[in-house]
Amino acid sequence: MPASVPKGEEGAAPPFAARARALTSRSALLDNLAALSGRAGVPLLLPVKADAYGHGLDVVARAAAASPHVWGLAVAVPREAQAVAALELGRPVVLLTPPTPQEVPVLADLGVRIPVATLAEAEALPPHARAHLKVDTGMNRLGARPAEAVAVGRRLAERGVLEGAYTHFATSDEVDLRFTHEQFRRFQAVLAELPPLLAHASNGGGVLSLGALPGMGLARPGLASYGFVPSHLHGVLPLRPVMTLQAQVTFVHDVHAGETISYGGLYTAPRDLRVATVGLGYADGYPRNATLRAHVTVRGERRPVLGRICMDQFMVDVSGLDVHPGEWIEVWGPADINVSEVAAWGDTIEYEVLTGLGARIDRAAVP
């Protein structure tokens, strides 16, 4: 859970504010969901794993539950399933990775849909459970291979607990889609041997590159729902980044020409500079590898981050701007710097930057 203002009782701690906040645009999220569902031709099973890709599980789950295009919410681990179930949004929650045997009855009682890949798992489900058969069509991560999947699915159907079946594409975000088509063909062959059910396969890459797929009842676009797509798929849909990340200026001072800034003295001021220190660092998920490449937006202007990014702070050139402690700067957002750029500066990918955002950052929804 994001660090938030302690609530309540007499003598409670004063309301110390977070130094950074991740704002989720509800309208951007809802527009993205409508566009993706339209392209897939089916409702969405929206992935909200990893704190909704860093946006905040509660914030995103509540906003998404207002969308007519969202059937349910997908999570990676049982704790996330429990957190979504506790919100009582009236939307199914689907767990995507195997629970332990001890967790199965608890999840079933919560109404969480359980992934099943073996006959032993199928037999062990309580009678009120609802299962989604997991078929491994080539990712080789989880699931029953097609030859075994049919028997597992039939047993689940006999027991009256089979609600859905799914597979996961390994290369759908690449230009060459031959293996994705092969995976889908294998999945269809399994489905042909089973009674009608709620089938789902496409992640974001699948939805964008393949569109509607025959026989599917749901699609699971994750990163695309939050507004990011691989570069070769830009323009397929008008998706918008959902998150704006802001951080607070904590100190402003002058640095003289020839002085260095931050650890290691990597950066030397070429002239007298006005420098703002900002309360966000690599402990919050701002990539340390973006050192000497990163920029942020201050009062609408793109300004460089100076010297090493620290654990809890970084410094920015605000020369010529009348910046004060307490003011918010934009680390990324729809207007200027986007997460793809930050990921490139940090030698990583959007998924890792977003999901790496730490618990000290507040999460909130904005219109």
Ligand X SMILES: *Cc1c(COP(=O)(O)O)cnc(C)c1O
Active site residues: 49, 263
Considering only residues 69, 130, 132, 168, which one is a binding residue for ligand X as defined by CB under 6 A? 168
CA distance 79 to 359: 16
Q: Tell me if 164 contacts ligand X by CB under 6 A.
A: no
Minimum distance between the CB of residue 152 and ligand X, rounded to whole angstroms?
A: 17
In the region spanning residues 186 to 205, those forming contacts with ligand X, defined by CB under 6 A, are 203-204
Among 222, 285, 287, 307, binds ligand X (CB under 6 A): 222
Annotated binding residue at 141?
Answer: yes
Q: Is the dihedral of CA 146, 148, 149, 153 positive or negative?
A: positive
Q: Which stretch binds ligand X (CB under 6 A): 59-67, 106-114, 119-127, 219-227?
A: 219-227
Could you say which of 221, 227, 287, 307 contacts ligand X (CB under 6 A)? Answer: 221
To the nearest whole angstrom, how small is the minimum distance from the Cβ of residue 311 to ligand X? 28
Decide: is 55 part of the binding site for ligand X (CB under 6 A). no
For ligand X, the binding residue among 28, 83, 96, 339 (CB under 6 A) is 96
Q: 3-state DSSP call for residue 302?
A: strand
Token pair in block for residue 9: 């009782």
Q: What tokens does 312 get?
A: 């809890």
The Cα–Cα gap between 76 and 174 comes to 23
Query: Minimum distance between the CB of residue 294 and ligand X, rounded to whole angstroms?
Result: 24
Q: Please name the residue ranges forming H helices in 77-130.
A: 78-86, 103-110, 119-124
Hey, what are 112's tokens? 């969480």
Position 230 contacts ligand X (CB under 6 A): no
Is 130 annotated to bind a ligand? Reply is no
- Rounded Cα distance between 28 and 24, Å, is 8
Q: Is there a contact between 230 and 4 (Cβ–Cβ < 8 Å)?
A: no
The answer to whether 132 contacts ligand X (rule: CB under 6 A) is: no
Strands in the chain per DSSP E: 20-25, 44-47, 70-75, 93-95, 114-116, 131-134, 162-166, 198-200, 243-255, 260-261, 267-268, 273-278, 295-298, 301-306, 314-317, 328-332, 362-366
Nearer to ligand X, 164 or 221 (CB): 221
Name the segment binding ligand X (CB under 6 A); options: 121-129, 147-155, 186-194, 217-225: 217-225
Measuring CA to CA, which residue among 139, 138, 342 is closest to residue 245? 342
Given candidates 132, 155, 220, 308, which one binds ligand X under the rule CB under 6 A? 220
Q: Under the criterion CB under 6 A, does residue 70 sit at the interface with ligand X?
A: no
> Count of residues binding ligand X (CB under 6 A)?
10
CB-nearest residue to ligand X: 222
| CA–CA gap between residue 215 and residue 226 (Å, rounded) | 26
Annotated binding site for substrate: 141, 311
Give residues in contact with ligand X (CB under 6 A): 47, 96, 168, 203-204, 220-224
